[in-house]
Chain A
Amino acid sequence: MSRIEAAFTKANQENRACIIIYYPVGYPDYENSVVALKAIAKVADIVEVGIPFSDPLADGPTIQQASQQALSLGINTQKALEAVKEIRDECKTPLVAMTYYNLFYRYGLEKFVSDANKAGLDGVIIPDLPPEEADSWLNIAKNKLETVFLAAPTSVDNRLKQICRISQGFIYAVSVTGVTGERTNLPANLADFIKKIKSITDKKVAVGFGISTPDQVSELANISHGIIIGSAIIKQMKNAVSFDEGLNNLIKLILRFKKKGSHS
């Protein structure tokens, strides 16, 4: 069993949803982001390590701004892998990189897979790499990194089937037709969408995009195997007066998510 699957199993044994937390490397700066990611890895079930990209098409303002700040301070793919290694040296929490395909393409697919593997990365989520374009990547990443594919509310049935067939680790169910960022209301038909994915596959399903409150987590915990939260976490850091306060608040929020994520 892969580290990612084991995390889902463990959460399920603890009678709760698997809590997956996104946080970008380099925000508010490199050193502090590593401190934050290490702390997050101690409480979250899986960590999505965001690698900032100049043109994040699938992201809303919160992640865009964090990415821009990190990039202006000089974050890059190589440093992001150093961060992964630093986190990996301290814990066994599954680490999944989330970024856009151009960064892998430029780094060199083979070199990235090899370096990421050595650093201790478990998988990747690439929002602008649909199954149609993924062959070269999958051939190289095979047996070294798990590649999580995204399913969207607009995906037609045969696409959903294909995504469920090739996705590794879990299926990333995009909750809204839209970009990342906190939403006060989740779509009414979200439960049906997740059920539909579950009817196609036995793989684990994690839902993300827009989820921001403990109540939403509580609502989704009985529907989805995993719940992914990003912008709401970054907001804690952004709104705090100091890094320590931001970190403290975001860890508290993750702990509430875990608690509210109990199966009922």
Chain B
Amino acid sequence: MQSYESLPDNKGHFEEFGGKFVPETLMAALEELEQAYKQSKGDKSFKEELDYLLADFAGRPTPLYFAKRLSDKYGAKIYLKREDLVHTGAHKLNNCLGQALLAKKMKKKRIIAETGAGQHGVATATVAALFGMQCQIYMGEEDIARQQPNVERMKLLGAKVIAVTSGSKTLKDAMNEAIRDWVTNVTTTHYLIGSVAGPHPYPMMVRDFQVVIGLETKQQIVEKENKMPTHIIACVGGGSNAIGIFYPFLNSSTGTARRARTKLFGIEAAGLGLDSGKHGAPLARGNKGILHGSLSYVIEDDFGQITEAHSISAGLDYPGVGPEHSYFKEKGLVTYDSVTDAEALNGFETLSKTEGIIPALESSHAVAYLEKLKMAKDDLVIVNLSGRGDKDLDIVKKAGLK
């Protein structure tokens, strides 16, 4: 067996997962992107420019915050990795800055992206403004309605927001339309995918741009506690914030019994319940299949037609998941579990009222998992707080929280 560290292989596979299942028209662009990315990876000036932007524009490093009242409530030591404090309000900007620099390098003047919650759309519109690039964001009609504040922000930042009316009118369909735009405008346009999904090299590249979360966390927890965490929890939509924080801890998660082991928990959206058929949990209830350019777990019917996902959180309302997560699941490197809409709302309220931090509904899934996790007094738990919840106030009010 290959080590996870050597993956993906040179064709973009995480064993059977991943790959490049896209129309021939895009193959040259994926190759160009991979080459540009590989060159940049070893390029000192690229790294310096990215580090500078991550620090002075995005506000990194983000704090690792000891949540005292939350710790008291659950009876273990709990820290929050504060990605909600990244400029624009979520971890999405980490990846957008990296890809925008690549787009500049490839001399692409136009950027397109899909967005669900609108956080990735806002982050993309932000980097487009920063670099003076044209920007078009695809967003499902249903998500436009439920994430209005982010739509307004994208427009203020100079992006054009296109309402997608096909299919389920959510993230999956926004991604279809973005890919169709890319197929049409591939020579002038960079497609800035917002998660570790899509064809190779995206899952690898987006992971690498998000790993900064985990690297900072590792250094910070050692400084503060002088030991490794026992548990890390993150929500999984496409899986970028989760893989970003997990990746540097995978070593210790596979360590022998004598070494400190960090258990990693990826939390999918159980929506109205896994048995209701209305959820966003392909790792829990999906099959292996091909969606949006890669082989991974997907939610589909008996004949391979992709079915609609459901989650109260637009960012987790997606029937697919990044291929590397499918690989981690298969190898048992990460534990995947899920949290319902109702439980996530509880998490939202709990964090708001015990710590004075309003989390995104996506991140609330990770927070809510504290209710389910069996913890001991000596445990050291880190929750990745992937984003802030201002965008979700309408949804939460409608759901009955006061």
Contact = CB atoms under 8 A, between A and B. Distances in A.
Q: Count chain B CB atoms within 10 A of each CB in A64, A128, A149, A174 and give the residue with the most.
A: A128
Interface string B182-194: 0111110000000
B303 A76 contact: yes
A101 B179 CA distance: 16
Interface in A74-108: 76-78, 100-107
Contact of B184 (A56, A76, A78, A178): A178
A179 B21 contact: no
Interface stretch (A12-20, A151-159, A219-227, A238-246): A151-159
A68 interface: yes
B5 interface: no
Given A76-B305, A102-B300, A156-B28, A58 B23 contact: yes
A106 B287 contact: yes
A54 B305 contact: yes
Contact of B289 (A57, A58, A105, A155): A105
A153 B287 contact: no
A215 B334 CA distance: 59
Nearest to B166: A64
B396 to A, nearest CB: 31
Contacts of A129: 21
Contacts of A163: 24
Contact of A102 (B20, B183, B184, B304): B304
Interface size class of A (residues with CB under 8 A): 35 or more
A143 interface: no
Interface in A144-192: 149-156, 159, 163, 174, 177-179
A192 to B, nearest CB: 16
B303 A77 contact: yes
B130 to A, nearest CB: 28
Given A106-B289, A177-B187, A57 B303 contact: no
A228 to B, nearest CB: 15
19 contacts: A55-B167, A55-B172, A57-B22, A57-B176, A57-B180, A57-B183, A58-B23, A77-B303, A78-B303, A100-B290, A105-B289, A105-B304, A106-B287, A150-B24, A159-B27, A159-B28, A163-B24, A179-B180, A179-B183
Interface of B: 11, 19-29, 31, 166-167, 172, 176, 179-180, 183-187, 287-293, 295, 298, 300-307
Given A58-B25, A104-B304, A177-B186, 8 more contacts: A54-B307, A55-B176, A71-B305, A130-B21, A154-B27, A154-B186, A156-B28, A179-B180
Interface of A: 53-58, 60, 64, 68, 71, 76-78, 100-107, 127-130, 132-133, 149-156, 159, 163, 174, 177-179
